[in-house]
Chain A
C-alpha cells in the first residue's frame, strides 16, 4: 500500500536522478586512461528504458532530459543530440509500456533493442550530416551489444533490488485511481 503515497512517487523520481549521478560518478573515476578496443554498456539508457517501461511516472520527461543532458556534458559528447534521441526513444517506450505489460520479457527486450539501434543509427546519421566526426564503428557497436546483453541484468536489478515493478491489473496509482 506504500505505492499509494505521493511522497513515494517523489522519492522514486529523486532516486532515479541519484542513480544517474552514481552511474556518471563511476564513469568519471580516473581508472581508464588508455584507449580501449571495446566499450561498456550504456547503463543510464538501460535503466531509463527499464524504469520507463515499468513505472513511467517515476521517470518524467524532465528528469530523463536532465540526466541525459548531464551525461552528454560530463562525458564529452556533443551536448544535446544523444539526450534528444534517448529522450524521444524512452518516451516512445513509455507510451508502449501499457501494451508491453502483458507480453513476456522477450517482447520487451526486442522493443528495447529496436529503440537502442534506432537511437545509435540516428545519432551517427545526424552527426555525419552536420559534419561532426563520428565515433568509431566498433566502439559504437560494442557499446550497443553490451547494452543489449546487460539489459536483462538491469531489469533484474530494477525488479529485485529497486522494487520498481510493472503495475499489476488491480493496482492503484498515486491518486487512488486504477491504472
Chain B
C-alpha cells in the first residue's frame, strides 16, 4: 500500500508542482502588468465587476434590506428620546427655514439685477448604489449606471446635499465612484467666505484634511468648502462641507453628504469648461475686422 502511494505521488507530484509554478508565474505577471499598464487592468477589473455584481443584485437587495431593518429596529428602542430631540431640532429648523426663504428671495432678486447666467448645462442622472468597495482599505461604491447611460470618467457625484465623490472606472452597466474619503481622492476646492484655494485630500478617515491652504489664519472652523473647478475637470460650486479643526489643529472638512446612508447618488453631467480661443481683434467703426491668417498674410506680401 505504502509503495503504491509513493508511486502515485511520484506521478502526480511533479504535475502538481508544475501547475503551482505556472499559477505563481501567472499571478506575478498579472501584478506586474497592473503595475506597468494600470488603466488596462483596471478596465478589465471594471468589466469583471460589471459581469458579476449586477447578477448578484437580486440577492443583495433583500439581504441589505433585512440588515437595515434590524439596525432600524435597535433604534426603535429609544424612540421617545429621539422624538424629543427631533421636536427641538424642528423648532430650530423652522427658524432657519424662514431665514433661508428670505435669503433665497433676496438672492434671486440680486441675481436678476446682476443678469447673472447660471450654468444651464449642469444636469444630472441618478443611480442606485449596488455595492461598496468591500474592504476597509478602499472607500468607493458601485452605481448601476454606466457607459450605457453616457457616463464619463471624472464626473462629480452628489447625494441630495453635498459632493460624494468622482466617477472613476466606467463599465457598460456599472460605474465606480471613488468617495472623497478614499486615500487616493484629491478634489480642488475653495473655502468661503475667505476665498482660499485648497485641495480636499482623502486619507481614509471620515473627515478629509484640507491641503495646500495659503494662509490658514484666514480660515475658521464653520466656513463652507465648495468645489472650485480648478483644472477644468470638475464642475465648480458644488457644496463639499464645513471646515473643522481636529484636536491636532489640522484643518479638515466635515462632509455635507450623508455618508452613513448612500443609496441614491446623482452624477452631474459635465462637459468641461469652455475655453476662450479667439485672439484679440482690431476694432474699426464698422465692427471687428476679420482676423488675418498667416496664409493670407503671405499672399498679400
A: which residues have CB within 8 A of B? 24-25, 27-36, 38-40, 61-62, 65, 69-70, 73-81, 83-84, 87-88, 91, 130, 132-133, 135-136, 139, 143, 175, 177-178
* 8 Å CB contact of A33 from B34, B63, B141: B141
Of all chain A residues, the one with the shortest Cβ separation from B169 is A76
Q: Is the CB of B4 within 8 A of A177?
A: yes
Q: Which B13-69 residues have a C-beta within 8 angstroms of A? A: 16, 19-20, 23-24, 26-35, 41, 45, 48-49, 52-53, 56, 59-60, 63-64, 67-68
Q: Given A35-B139, A74-B52, A130-B35, are A30 and B30 neighbors across the interface (CB < 8 Å)?
A: no
- Residue interface bits B248-266, CB-to-A below 8 A is 1, else 0: 0000000000011111000
Chain A positions within 8 Å of B134 at CB level:
24, 27-28, 74-76
Q: Is the CB of A79 within 8 A of B206?
A: no
Q: Is the CB of A28 within 8 A of B20?
A: no
Q: Given A30-B64, A83-B27, A136-B137, are A25 and B56 neighbors across the interface (CB < 8 Å)?
A: yes
Q: Is the CB of B31 within 8 A of A25?
A: no
Q: Which B79-107 residues have a C-beta within 8 angstroms of A? A: none
Q: Is the CB of A177 within 8 A of B20?
A: no
Of all chain B residues, the one with the shortest Cβ separation from A85 is B27
Chain B positions within 8 Å of A136 at CB level:
137, 183, 204
Q: Is the CB of B141 within 8 A of A30?
A: yes
Beyond the given pairs A35-B204, A75-B135, 20 more chain A to chain B contacts, judged by CB atoms under 8 angstroms and listed by A's residue number, are A27-B135, A28-B131, A31-B68, A32-B132, A33-B139, A33-B259, A36-B136, A62-B23, A74-B49, A75-B133, A76-B140, A78-B35, A79-B31, A80-B28, A80-B29, A87-B20, A87-B23, A133-B183, A133-B184, A139-B137
B: which residues have CB within 8 A of A? 1-2, 4-5, 8, 16, 19-20, 23-24, 26-35, 41, 45, 48-49, 52-53, 56, 59-60, 63-64, 67-68, 129-142, 179, 181, 183-184, 204-206, 259-263
- Determine the main DSSP class of B at the interface with A: helix
Q: Is the CB of B27 within 8 A of A87?
A: yes
Closest CB in chain B relative to A118 CB, distance in Å = 16
Q: Is the CB of A76 within 8 A of B2?
A: no
Q: Is the CB of B1 within 8 A of A91?
A: no
* 8 Å CB contact of B5 from A31, A34, A80, A178: A178
Rounded to whole angstroms, the CA-CA distance of A95 and B211 in the bound complex is 50
Q: Is the CB of A29 within 8 A of B67?
A: yes
Q: Is the CB of B30 within 8 A of A69?
A: yes
* 8 Å CB contact of A39 from B1, B33, B48, B136: B136
Q: Given A24-B134, A69-B30, A74-B52, are A79 and B23 neighbors across the interface (CB < 8 Å)?
A: no
Closest CB in chain B relative to A36 CB, distance in Å = 5
Chain B positions within 8 Å of A25 at CB level:
56, 59-60
Closest CB in chain B relative to A55 CB, distance in Å = 15
Q: 14 A-B pairs, CB-CB below 8 angstroms?
A: A27-B135, A29-B60, A29-B63, A29-B131, A31-B132, A62-B23, A70-B48, A73-B45, A78-B34, A80-B34, A136-B137, A136-B183, A136-B204, A177-B5
Rounded to whole angstroms, the CA-CA distance of A171 and B199 in the bound complex is 65
Chain B positions within 8 Å of A33 at CB level:
129, 132, 139, 141, 179, 259-262
